[in-house]
Copies of this chain bind each other. A is one copy, B any other.
Amino acid sequence: MAKSLPVSPLAPPRFPDLPQIAGVRFASVEAGVRYKGRRDVMLAALQPGTAIAGTFTRSATRSAPVLDCQAKLGRANGDGAAILVNAGNANAFTGTRGVEAVEDVTASVARELGIAQDRVFTSSTGVIGELLNAERITCRLAELHGGLTADGIADAARAIMTTDTFPKGATAEVTLPGGTVKIAGIAKGSGMIAPDMATMLVYIFTDAEVPQPLLQQMLSDLTDRTFNCITVDSDTSTSDTLILAATGASGVAVGESEGPFCDALHGVMLDLAQQVVRDGEGATKFVEIQVSGAASPSDAKTHAMAIANSPLVKTAIAGQDPNWGRVVMAIGKSGAAADRDLLSIWFGDTLIAEKGWVSPEYQEADAAAHMKEQNILIRVDLGLGDGSATVWTCDLTHGYIDINADYRS
């Protein structure tokens, strides 16, 4: 069982006021899947015509619910739809009985709500390798159905937490030629103390009317610039799931040219992604890494991720040490193109290194002052081309070891 952790020092001051999204209702219950005395199952019911898009972990050992969701994406929107999520058990690496549990739950939800089974999407997060007792969920479906309410999203955000230290939500409103639409999303991750990897689940809802192929395209593009640009510890879950549902209830259509909707969705996704980093296991610093001047955008991201995932860079940040030598090391090992003698490195606004050596004006006191802040910026210019990328991470502290080593499941 989980022991309770102090709320991350990087948490936002409070959970945001999320608006009701027309066409979606939420319910959550204490089903006792693993945790006691807290909500651990949430249901979202979506009106007929809702378009659903998703992105998922690329793990070769992905969980049964992930495989089931992937198989169902892109089907016709005519019917209503549902998303059911449980916390406490990931239903991953559970063989054919794991597949049967997904089948049980999705069939039962379809029956309860009177919708097609291939419009029921599930996620499971928590311990892996243990069987999911589907009955603990299916026996509560009538109660969940009866409890569906348009303002249940905040409780839903809490029901999907495993050992997150705070619930995560974000919202946006955008005015289009046809009217105003709303977006609201919730996420969980990355503060696990159960004996598993940091799984990430994200659900975003909008009352905009968006054709499913366009919705999927937007989601995939924006995922590459948001959730695929964060890292806590370089370990990838078997269960990562991001589902975006557009109910169309506003009657406002989003066409291919609707940049403002895309921008608003980007803002919600980036906010949620950064909240996941802010709840990184043991995190005390929020770190943005900007790379420019790379030979290509993918080289820029490779360098940025090499810096963000380096244990030596992350421990230096934890120690408030402006250790730019470790940034040089991470760039050197990344495998992407770099020329030592064209590199420039800044910590905050302080230029530290240029032309292959420390800058003549560099005063360590300036960089050291920046390292004492809670939000750290590391900026690198490769001097090779136009490729750029920005990623976000946190530091590596004793808290990470406490959570993942000292605590035995």
Contact = CB atoms under 8 A, between A and B. Distances in A.
A331 B233 contact: no
Nearest to A61: B332
Given A355-B95, A357-B94, A358-B129, A329 B235 contact: yes
B312 A404 contact: yes
A318 B325 CA distance: 28
25 contacts: A57-B332, A60-B331, A60-B340, A61-B329, A61-B331, A92-B325, A94-B356, A94-B357, A95-B341, A96-B356, A129-B328, A195-B316, A195-B321, A195-B323, A233-B312, A235-B310, A235-B330, A235-B333, A236-B329, A236-B332, A315-B404, A318-B405, A319-B406, A321-B409, A398-B401
A280 B303 CA distance: 25
Interface residues on A, range: 35 or more
A324 to B, nearest CB: 7
Given A325-B129, A401-B396, A357 B60 contact: no
A237 B343 CA distance: 17
B61 A312 contact: no
Closest 7 CB pairs of A and B: A61-B332, A59-B332, A95-B357, A236-B333, A319-B405, A315-B404, A315-B405
A399 B369 CA distance: 26
B329 A59 contact: yes
B325 A196 contact: yes
Contact of A61 (B96, B127, B340): B340
A234 interface: yes
A117 B58 CA distance: 52
A357 B63 CA distance: 12
Contacts of A95: 341, 355-357
Interface of A is mostly: loop
A355 to B, nearest CB: 7
A337 interface: yes
A407 interface: yes
B338 A61 contact: yes
A111 interface: no
A353 interface: yes
A163 interface: no
Interface centre among A62, A311, A341, A358 (most CB of B within 10 A): A311
Given A61-B338, A93-B356, A311-B311, A321 B129 contact: no
Contacts of A333: 58-60, 235-236
Interface in A32-65: 57-62
Interface centre among A318, A323, A343 (most CB of B within 10 A): A323
Interface string A20-35: 0000000000000000
